[in-house]
Structure 1
Amino acid sequence: MVKTFTRMAVAGAAVVSVLAVTASQAQAAVLVSNKTISNSHGKMTFIDDGDVFQVCDTKADGHGMTGELVQIYDAGANQVRLTVTDGGDSGCDKKGYNIGNQFNEQYEMWLSWNGGGATVKSERFNE
């Protein structure tokens, strides 16, 4: 009887642990503090302190980088809220945009090399 109870308690604790980890991972996909996406030509970073979006061109190849903050709507008609470009100068370029803290608002960062190729997109996030 004691062994059966112990096994049930251990199994119950394992289930609770799995649920807690799963819930925290799901929440992490929505609420973000700082986030960076990149490709072989540059990167885009969201800096939570001040809601700043920074784009860095990391290759001197004659082409710059463009980063966009896009508000995502499930029904389509996504809307670009901010565009930041960098290239041709030293350092990174950045701009601020308050994404707020509305749970129903979702954003993605999109990063493109101005020389062509695929756009890198972040997972959906909110502050």
Structure 2
Amino acid sequence: MIKSITRLAVTGVAVATVFAGTVSTAQASEAGVLITDKKISLRDGRGTMTFFDDGDVFQVCDTKADGHGVSGRLIDDAYREKVYIEDGGDAGCDKKGYDVGQFASYQMQLSWNGGDPEVHSGWFNE
């Protein structure tokens, strides 16, 4: 009888541990927690904005020579602009660093300076 109760208790702890790990992972994904780099792109190949988690660097690239540049912004969950990067008219992409923390959520916004609607990333943090 005692062996059965001990086995039942051990099995219960194992199941609870697996379930707790699953819930934590699911909650992290639903909250938009950053797991790796992020990238958003404008339609028609006009430009990109990339967040490189290693070093917390944001890069904006104008990828189409059409006479208009692209603008990227990073905003926090209070809708305050933290980073503004413009690229266009020169070779290469423009970059800026910003330390993305765990206590706020952030969103990247990318726009083509020729008038199309903005593209937004999901909300994320570290």
1:30 aligned residue? 33
Q: Which structure: greater helix fraction?
A: 2
1:125 aligned residue? 124
2:68 maps to 1:63: yes
Q: 1:31-85 CA deviation, whole Å, 9 max, x = no partner?
A: 2320000013100000011110000001000000000000013xxxx10000011
Instruction: Quote how far apart the aligned CAs of 1:91 are.
Output: 0.8
For 2:26 and 2:88, the matched residues in 1 are separated by 35
Runs of 4+ in 1 over 6 A off after TM superposition: none
TM normalised by structure 1 equals 0.75
1:54 aligned residue? 59
For 2:119 and 2:67, the matched residues in 1 are separated by 20
Aligned length: 106
Q: Which structure has the greater CA radius of gyration?
A: 2
For 1:72 and 1:86, the matched residues in 2 are separated by 25
CA RMSD of aligned residues (A): 2.0
For 2:88 and 2:111, the matched residues in 1 are separated by 12
Q: Secondary structure at the match of 2:109?
A: strand
For 2:100 and 2:37, the matched residues in 1 are separated by 13
The unaligned stretches of length 5 or more in structure 2 are 1-14
Residue identity (%): 51
Q: Secondary structure at the match of 1:124?
A: coil
